[in-house]
Structure 1
């Protein structure tokens, strides 16, 4: 079995798999690249994780995730920034262990409003300040920080950055080692998304392209409303064509949060998402 050469299985799609199990499922489907999550790496330690990646022969497309730096000044904010620096070091180590073509990309989720706060403007300013303080450290490690805008329904609890335009503005202000994630699930609704993808490409800021579909009706936990590409409402033709036209040539991850998908055998999920990518996304690259 073989997969499209640019397809990458993001580990969130097989959420309950250990890193070793996720690697095995990726390879079983003929997929050449994997997007790694920090929690499974922490479960076995960074040294063991880098050995697994090195032995796998797979590329690493990204490490998910860090960020969550909307907290006001104080011990919690210091701890959050320290954790982001550790994540940068983890990203560099895992990318170095991966096969040729691995990307030292750390996906960042901004964080929501601090408990009891309604100051959205202030929260976004703290995201800007955090990126500015982390950019030199990332640059010295050879890591790109990839700001991911999340759908506005997550602005209160997960990410005060809601549009690709906002993410690009933050990246440009922070410095050359900060880019953006183009995630179909979070951005498909935005009437300005296609010109913003073009803008991100012109600025050389697209660090990752992630694909999954938008399903309705939304589940009770809206976080889990993602589907296999082609099963929902998203127009992958226009979005993928827009990304391709920028010249982005990196790996493309499928990242699905869905309880039914998570309950299925990992090998089956890897094979199904790979097939969907080949049918629904790859023709427009």
Structure 2
């Protein structure tokens, strides 16, 4: 257990240890021999970009992705443009941190017109593609579970995400497959195959039964009903060989000592992922 060779693709998505700041999360990964970390922008802001970059580099970690860009739909043109500018800042931050993936959580509708919001998402991504290309950053569209459509994203299936990606006809845009969001989809394996060569990230956790909370109810791998190994095999068959991020929103896990959580992540990763 915990052999560094067998966890070489493991990455801590730092929301999993939300009580830790970025410096603490990096130090925790170093102690646990976890080779990479996915950084959230609010954690980046706390420490500052330059110091964050230094902390990660000094620890010898790689950055698997930056979370998040997106949130494109808004009620006015001015607000939509502000969102574009924020995405450009996120692209610059990702480039500075040395990752090549910015995860896009595309955003909810500002009103009841969900179709219009989906058009805003497509237009928003289209506007930032040239900027992303200039900075060597790829944009990973992460479809969220349909229960998040009203609050977080109008892109709720891998089919939708794939259709968007194909529309842009560029290697700068791909998809992020998060098992928590897609495991239920009856067309999942067809859509993973369709995404071949375009999968930019893979996130793992588990779906607990009964589900304790819509947002904060993700479980540790092995504690729920997701066939993690089967999905991983499909993603790898589709060409994805990159980092595997453990991303868990769960207050009970957040309240545990971080080192204990990382120890369990390694064990469960080896056993179930």
Task: State the TM bucket, normalised to the shorter chain.
Answer: over 0.9
Partner of residue 263 from structure 1, selected from 244, 248, 255? 255
What are the within-5 Å matches in structure 2 for residues 44-83 of structure 1?
44-83=47-86
Asked if the contact 1:34/1:60 (under 8 Å) is kept, the reply is yes
Shift of 1:166: 0.5
Q: State the number of aligned residues.
A: 269
**Structure 1 length-normalised TM:** 0.92
Aligned equivalent of 2:152: 158
Which of 153, 177, 180 is matched with 1:182 structurally?
A: 177
- Which structure 2 residue ranges, 5 or more long, are not aligned? none
Conserved? CA contact 1:34–1:59, under 8 Å: yes
For 1:57 and 1:35, the matched residues in 2 are separated by 14
Does the CA contact (< 8 Å) of 1:69 and 1:81 recur in 2?
Answer: yes
2:106 corresponds to 1:113: no
Conserved in 2, the CA contact under 8 Å of 1:23 and 1:34? yes
Could you tell me how far 1:170 is from its partner in structure 2? 1.0
Q: Hey, what's the Cα distance between the residues in 1 that align with 2:191 and 2:228?
A: 16
1:156 counterpart SS class: coil
Equivalent position of 1:135 in the other structure: 129
Q: Partner residue of 2:227? A: 235
2:46 aligned to 40, 43, 46, which one? 43
Question: Within 1, Cα distance between the matches of 2:248 and 2:92?
Answer: 26
TM-score, with length taken from structure 2: 0.96
- Runs of 4+ displaced beyond 3 Å: none
What is the alpha-carbon distance in structure 2 between the residues aligned to residue 253 and residue 278 of structure 1? 13
Other-structure match for 1:217: 210
* Structure 1: unaligned runs, 5 residues or longer: 96-102
> CA-atom RMSD, angstroms?
1.1
Please name the residue that 2:17 is paired with.
Answer: 14
